[in-house]
Amino acid sequence: MTAFLDIAGLTKAYPGVVANDDVSFAIQPGEVHALLGENGAGKSTMVKMIYGLVRPDAGHMTLRGQPYAPSEPSAARAAGVAMVFQHFSLFEALDVAENVTLGMEKPPRMRDLARRIAEVSETYGLPLDPGRKVGDLSAGERQRVEIIRCLLQDPKLLIMDEPTSVLTPQEVEILFHTLRKLSAEGTAILYISHKLEEIRALCDAATILRRGKVVGSCTPREVSAAEMAEMMVGKSLSAPRRAATEAGPPLLHVQNLNLTPATPFGTPLRNIGFTVHAGEVLGIGGVAGNGQDELLAALSGETLSARGSVSLDDEDISQMGPDARRERGLCSAPEERIGHAAAPDMSLTENAVLTAKLRRGLAHGGFIDWRAAEDFAREVIASFDVRTPGPQVAARALSGGNLQKYVIGREMLQDPRVLVVNQPTWGVDASAAASIRQAILDLAGSGSAVLVISQDLDELLEISDRFAALNEGRLSAPKDARGLTMEQIGLMLGGAHDMHEAEVVHASA
Amino acid sequence: MLRLEKRPNPSRAWAIGTPVLAVILTMIAGGALFAALGKDPVEAIRLIFWDPLFNERVASFSRPQLLVKAGPLILIAIGLSLGFRAGIWNIGAEGQYIIGAICGAAFGLAFYPSESIFLFPAMVIVGTLGGLLWAMIPGVLKTVFRTNEILVSLLLVYVAEAILALAATGFLRNPEGMGFPGSRNLARHPGTDNPELIANTGMHWGVIAAFVAVIAAYVLLNRHLFGYQVKLAGQAPRAARFHGVSPNALILTCMGISGALAGMAGLFEVTGPAGQITIDFNVGYGFTAIIVAFLGRLHPVGILFAGLLMALTYIGGELAQLMLGLPASAIQVFQGMLLFFLLALDVLSNYRIRIGGRAAA
Amino acid sequence: MFGIDPVTLAAALIAASTPILLAAIGELVVEKSGVLNLGVEGMMIMGAICGFIACVTTGSPWLGFVAGAAGGAALSLIFGVLTQFLLSNQVATGLALTLFGLGMSALMGEDYTGINPPLTPKLFPEALRQLEVVGPILFGHDLIVYLSVALVAAVAWGLARTRTGLIIRAVGENHDAAHSLGYKVIRIRILAILFGGACAGLGGAYLSLVRVPSWTEGMTAGAGWIALAIVVFASWRPWRALIGAYLFGGIAALQLRLQAAQIDIPVALLDASPYIVTIIVLVIISTDRTRAALNAPAALGRVFHASG
């Protein structure tokens, strides 16, 4: 049997980095093939080449025995290749049907399309209303829009880029049923992920990338997760250590926090309440778009809330701006590094002033002490192993992982009494992620209160003392994190969200 | 095939190089335009850029004009540059300039024929406040209602021009002017005049104010938190909020500063070089200052040079008009071209141009 | 009231509105594709002079209108190249376009002041135009007036119902997503910019050939800026742009008649009234934040650069 897609020696270089170096592998018809690797290993570039978004510098591809070199996505789609993006290629202000038709080569009339959307969603257990605006959908529903868009074109190869990062555990199960069904019907699936257990549960074969090169291949069901992890990372990583600490007095207290969203498609916060104690890590889990950004903004002081809703040390801080909160010891690190936690075109020294001017005395009488700022930037770079030529470098020149270390380090070195972080290790390679988690635990160990908002449940279970789930702007009651199972967490996160029981059963049948 | 590739760090060399290259390209394209108009291009370029400064026969007249014309341009452009950096687009400086002049002149004329030495400083303050308040209209509307400040500030120029017409023909008309439109001459009356401080230099109080503004803006942008916040808000608005900048306060401050400086420039102009409120005493400095701000790359020192250069094109343009019969509007086209080239070349400081995969710039 | 006949006022209103309506409907499409072109004033005045020169030279108003549209489009191409290929700031480039257009048109029009262009014929026969009330209002205009209304209908239908319209909206909503689906963001935007330039140019030509009809420097007098304001007023909906333009045209026509009627209101205030009313309308519209935000193209004014 010839391979469905044969990739031979693909190479793609960008200035300063070789994204893919002589990569070869083959995907069989109906096979679920995993492309495994850390952030920055070259997975995204690889699939962009298969989908016609990027042209390889060298190497060639063969599709069903024919030479295959798509010059643009429509050529790839015409050849039967479809793709579900990690960052969805959706249009919030348009409705589901319009979004679907935009991704199709030969779209049917709108009337027929609505009917076909209904058919496909019935067949694969992916309920979706064609007339709804995508901006009003949850992350899981948005993914269904993308999948249905692909399925309507009857693809022979479906590429899925990190599809589970936005799903609850229950939604992941439903997705896997869909994918297995497709695979059984003969559709090949290229499944990109860095989550090892998922790959073991779903995939027939795996190709492992590291720094742009193929470093191994395996049959995931036959090897352990640890073996795959070692191939992926190149070394074995130790789990973070935590000092056994007793929770101290309450530091950050939130009650009856309600906020209406500032943007049309934002999430409202509904009656949120929790307390974080000294020496404790409170983990807040949730699928993307359930109010994480809004919660961080309400705590950092970017959005003000009703009197009495946020207090620090029994002092009401809900009407104070970011600086007043920092002065009192509340530091925060938002999810979006570029443009929110840091200004991309400013140097690391200038970015040091962004949050640390008060607690580190980087300004006197309104005038900035640039020497002190540079010293502080150097200190962050040295203490958090930020790989950069120096503090004069623009933030945008740093890799995601290095900038994240800089941002986290900048807050931690201000000796905060309460630290709020959103997605501390998102898009960060495994060793950097491990060091950031260790730093969080060390900070809590030194008596600070830490609130970690994350979509990575494994991460939260690893570092939190207590766990709460954020779902459509509501926060569940925090529970002791030890002993929580994935299933319990999944239910706290809203289970299969708005899917009805019957449909879930139908999908798993 | 040409491709653009983002530089990891903005290029400092190109930040300085682009304005120079833009001027050179404008000279070439402008020369072609003049040739198309049937004028000798080399002669025209020499008349515009060289003769006003170095031709003995005209320089004694035109050299002082350089400061006279550069003063208001620099003063207004400095104010605008702060807002432009922060992403706040006050493009109605022309209106604030007019209103500043009217307010200051009205205040001075109210005390006519007082020759008090306090009168002129008070007029400067009133003129500045007039420009500030006029700029506060788009500022407040933006902060309270989110109304687009670009459109409001620009539309208010037309309203200001209507008020100017009313002033020149009505409430400020010279009672001894035999019915002609225009106010009393402020420049020829001690107490309300803004005199040439050093003979034959063109130096007046407005020029001094412009230099002070350049220095103040330089310090503000490089050393002070306010300048830092302005830059931050322009580059990364969310990061600015996270830092603790109140967007509304920043809008009002930037609009206020730019309006105040434009109003001040208007007052200095109407009490000095223009001399009186007339229906068309304003000659578009408020708009040309936008070009000056960009040509100077929104940098105070850059604006200083850009203001002088733009003043030169005004003076040289008049000279070319006189000597070659070059239409007055040709110089306006010339200034527009300069801005185009500058914006087009700006790409070089943030991107590399690659040809077939190799770096070319 | 003040001896002003409502029928002639209504007819004048439509004629006064047409240049702004044309410019506004063009800019609406441009903004729907995610591009903010503030150079409408410059493109209008270029259209005014190009159309005027072509009409006077050839004697044909129709060639004049074609030349006006071409002049506006040519100027908009500069904007397109600068903002789409050279990634320049759209606000600054739009301003540059206006400053350049004002200068260039003055230069081109040096020898054309004080000339009357050939008359643009009315579309309908005399008999229809003589009808009571409906005659002057509905049948009393030239082809361009009807074309402008047809254009609004075409844009409204095209944006909402056709695939081209859907793609334009998608590009304006999220250019990165559109790019990843394989749409040519830059090409689509350049075409939208050219359409906007042609519409503005046509509007300008209507001003110099029909509305005034003669050439004077700076004769657009802020019409381009008012067209931009009307797009905001319309919340990017074509039919509302028509309402906005007619509202503005009504005020312009009314204030001219009040001036002629020598009402005891300062002329300066009447001159300024269209601009003041536009500002007031802008304020009223922007108070309703959620609706404005819902219709605004999400990628408006943002620079698109495909990495990788």
CATH number of the domain bearing residue A61 = 3.40.50.300
Q: Does residue A366 belong to any structural domain of this protein?
A: no
Residue stretches of chain A with pLDDT short of 50: 500-509
The pLDDT value recorded for residue B188 is 85
- Contact yes or no for B147 and C217 at CB 8 A: no
CATH topology (fold) of C6-295: ABC transporter involved in vitamin B12 uptake, BtuC (1.10.3470)
Q: Which of A284, A352, A299 is nearest to A329 (CA)?
A: A299
Q: What number is the ipTM of this complex?
A: 0.88
Strands A66-68 and A81-84: unpaired
Strands A213-218 and A32-36: unpaired
Q: Are A68 and A186 in a shared domain? A: yes
Q: pTM of the full predicted structure? A: 0.89
From residue A284, how far is each of A433, A470, C71 by CA, in Å? 18, 7, 59
Domain boundaries, chain B: 68-326
Q: Which of A126, A122, A100 is nearest to A113 (CA)?
A: A100
Strands A281-285 and A466-471: parallel
For residues C275 and C287, give the distance between their C-alpha atoms in angstroms, rounded to a whole number: 19
For residues C200 and A396, give the distance between their C-alpha atoms in angstroms, rounded to a whole number: 39
The pLDDT value recorded for residue A485 is 81
C170, C298, C308 ranked by CB distance to A102: nearest: C170
- Contact yes or no for C177 and A89 at CB 8 A: yes
Which chains lie within 8 Å of chain A at 3 or more CB pairs, if any? Answer: B, C
Residue of A nearest to B359 (CA): A15
| Cβ contacts of C118-123, under 8 Å, gap ≥ 24 | C118/C55, C118/C56, C118/C59, C118/C60, C118/C61, C119/C61, C119/C213, C120/C61, C120/C144, C120/C209, C120/C210, C120/C213, C121/C61
Tokens for A459? 């991460």
A334/B contact by beta carbon, under 8 A: yes
Query: May I ask the CATH class of domain B68-326?
Result: mainly alpha
Residue of C nearest to A261 (CA): C290
B10, B232, B244 ranked by CB distance to A321: nearest: B244
Q: Are A305 and A173 in a shared domain? A: no
Q: Are A184 and A103 in a shared domain? A: yes
The pLDDT value recorded for residue A505 is 41
**Amino acid in the structure at residue B359:** A
Which residues of C are less than 8 Å from A73 in CB distance?
180-182
C173, C294, C308 ranked by CB distance to A91: nearest: C173
Instruction: Determine the average pLDDT of the residues in B204-227.
Output: 95
Question: Total domain count for chain A?
Answer: 2
Tell me the pLDDT of chain C (308 aa) as tens digits: 556 778 888 888 888 899 999 999 999 999 999 999 999 999 999 999 999 999 999 999 999 999 999 999 999 999 999 999 999 989 889 999 999 999 999 999 988 988 888 888 887 787 777 777 777 777 778 899 999 999 999 999 999 999 999 999 999 999 999 998 889 999 999 999 999 999 999 999 999 999 889 999 989 988 999 999 999 888 899 999 999 999 888 888 888 888 877 777 778 888 888 899 889 988 988 877 666 566 788 888 888 877 54
Which residues of C are less than 8 Å from B157 in CB distance?
222
Instruction: Determine the average pLDDT of the residues in B113-117.
Output: 87
Q: Which of A104, A31, A26 is nearest to A64 (CA)?
A: A26
From residue A294, how far is each of A260, A263, A354, A422, A451 by CA, in Å? 9, 11, 20, 11, 14
Which residues of A are less than 8 Å from B10 in CB distance?
345, 394
Q: Which of B172, B19, B199, B180 is nearest to B98 (CA)?
A: B172
Tens digits of residue pLDDT in A205-263? 999 998 889 998 899 889 888 888 888 877 766 666 776 667 789 999 999 999 998 77
From residue A305, how far is each of A258, A329, A343, B27, C271 by CA, in Å? 7, 19, 26, 57, 46
* Ranges A134-143, B114-123, B211-220, B257-266: which has the least confidence: A134-143
Q: Are A161 and A307 in a shared domain? A: no
Q: Are A160 and A276 in a shared domain? A: no
Q: Give the distance, in angstroms, between the CA of residue A417 and the centroid of all CA atoms in the same chain.
A: 27
- Structural domain of A289: 250-336+416-492
Which residues of A are less than 8 Å from B232 in CB distance?
343, 346, 354
Q: Which of A324, A284, A478 is nearest to A310 (CA)?
A: A324
- Contact yes or no for C169 and A264 at CB 8 A: no
Q: Are A267 and A202 in a shared domain? A: no
The pLDDT value recorded for residue A244 is 62
Which of C270, C277, C282 would best serve as a mutation to test chain B binding (most B beta carbons within 10 A)?
C282
From residue A91, how far is each of A166, B146, C176, C180 by CA, in Å? 17, 25, 10, 12
Question: Is 90 exceeded by the pLDDT of residue B249?
Answer: yes
For residues A291 and A275, give the distance between their C-alpha atoms in angstroms, rounded to a whole number: 18
Question: Is 50 exceeded by the pLDDT of residue B145?
Answer: yes
When pLDDT is cut at 50, 70 and 90, the band that residue B118 belongs to is: very high
Got the DSSP string for A212-263? TEEEEEE-GGGS-HHHHHHHHHSS--PPPP-------SEEEEEEEEEE--SS
Which chains lie within 8 Å of chain B at 3 or more CB pairs, if any? Answer: A, C
| Cβ contacts of B20-26, under 8 Å, gap ≥ 24 | B21/B341, B21/B345, B22/B295, B22/B338, B22/B341, B22/B342, B22/B344, B22/B345, B23/B309, B23/B338, B25/B341, B25/B345, B26/B334, B26/B337, B26/B338, B26/B341
A369/B contact by beta carbon, under 8 A: no
The pLDDT value recorded for residue A238 is 66
Q: Are A47 and A129 in a shared domain? A: yes
Tens digits of residue pLDDT in B169-183? 888 888 888 878 888
